[in-house]
Amino acid sequence: MTVQLPTPDETLRMVAVHAHPDDESSKGAGTTARYAREGVQVTVITCTGGERGDVLNPRLLDDPSLTAETLPAIRRAEMARAQEILGVDHEWLGFIDSGLPEGDPLPPLPAGSFATIAVEEAARPLVEAVRRLRPHVMTTYDENGGYPHPDHIQSHRISVAAFDLAADPAFAPELGEPWEVAKLYYINGFHRQRFSAVARHLRNAGAPNEELEQMMERFDESTDRLLTTRIDVKEFLAVRDDALRAHATQVDPDGPFFRITHDAEISAWGTEDYELHISRIGVKLPEDDLFAGLRHETVEARA
């Protein structure tokens, strides 16, 4: 099979795969908001309902309406609001949150939860979505999940699997016609280079951020990810923050996500960053566009 490049009048399409509701607003939200406003068909796919997430907003800890029984529906409503703010389409894969195990030794994950399901089986609904939506670009987490939550790691695994399986005509033809996604990216949202630049900017401005300084002490340069692609999101920081605040049970509105001013972010860095993991088309790195090589003027020039 040959990658189907977009025609001159075709809408560009991307799929962003995330583990839980709120991940789409804390990882790559400026990018999806930007592309959606530029006319790209952006679909966020959330693997689980976040059913086992804790209430992380201290203002809501004593809210009697928040129970294990009501939280799943509340998180779905929060996701709908965040989707509206970002301006993206959204689909659920329907898996059950695995939770974040704690203890030594770690307890087993709940039976039937997302991270316990065999990768090829768990990838099937994502394969169906890819074949139906026919994205040119897919984003997901790296092999460590961005951070080692079992659902984040499983999201990575099924995304990589679906990237291959969706293109394989021999795999599950009942899930739709094969489709080759042109490019697969890892979201590199929380990395030393960015935080170091912001911390240095704040220090030079005479307003060091103590939480950020402490975070920098824990970063190991050997764990730096490759940054191949940087997307300018300076105009979309407020949209990102509004979408994140929509997940009210999961986000402290006075927490560290919101303590660095937009001016500092813009001056010090101003991009959301990605690692191009697989490309089925020719590329020239570094990039400033996930669709580099796919826009018609670029395709014509390469041809």
Query: Residues forming the annotated binding site?
Result: 20, 23, 152
Length of the chain: 303
Q: Residue 93: helix, strand or coil by DSSP?
A: strand
For the chain, first and last CA: distance in Å?
19
Does residue 87 come out as left (phi exceeding 0), alpha (psi in the -120 to 50 range) or beta? left
Which residues on neighbouring strands pair with residue 17, listed in sequence order? 45
Spatial distance between the Cα atoms of 276 and 182, rounded to a whole number of angstroms:
11
Distances (CA, A) of 58 to 23, 61, 68, 158, 251: 19, 5, 17, 34, 9
CB 217 within 8 A of CB 275: no
**Cβ burial, residue 152 (10 Å; 0-12/13-18/19+):** buried
The three-point CA angle 249-46-229 to 5° equals 105
Spatial distance between the Cα atoms of 140 and 143, rounded to a whole number of angstroms:
10
Strands laid side by side in the 41-48 sheet: 89-95, 41-48, 13-18, 137-140, 183-187, 271-279, 229-232
Residue positions in the annotated binding site for Zn(2+)? 20, 23, 152
Spatial distance between the Cα atoms of 294 and 289, rounded to a whole number of angstroms:
10
CB 13 within 8 A of CB 215: no
The three-point CA angle 78-80-81 to 5° equals 65
Q: Which DSSP category does 114 fall into?
A: G
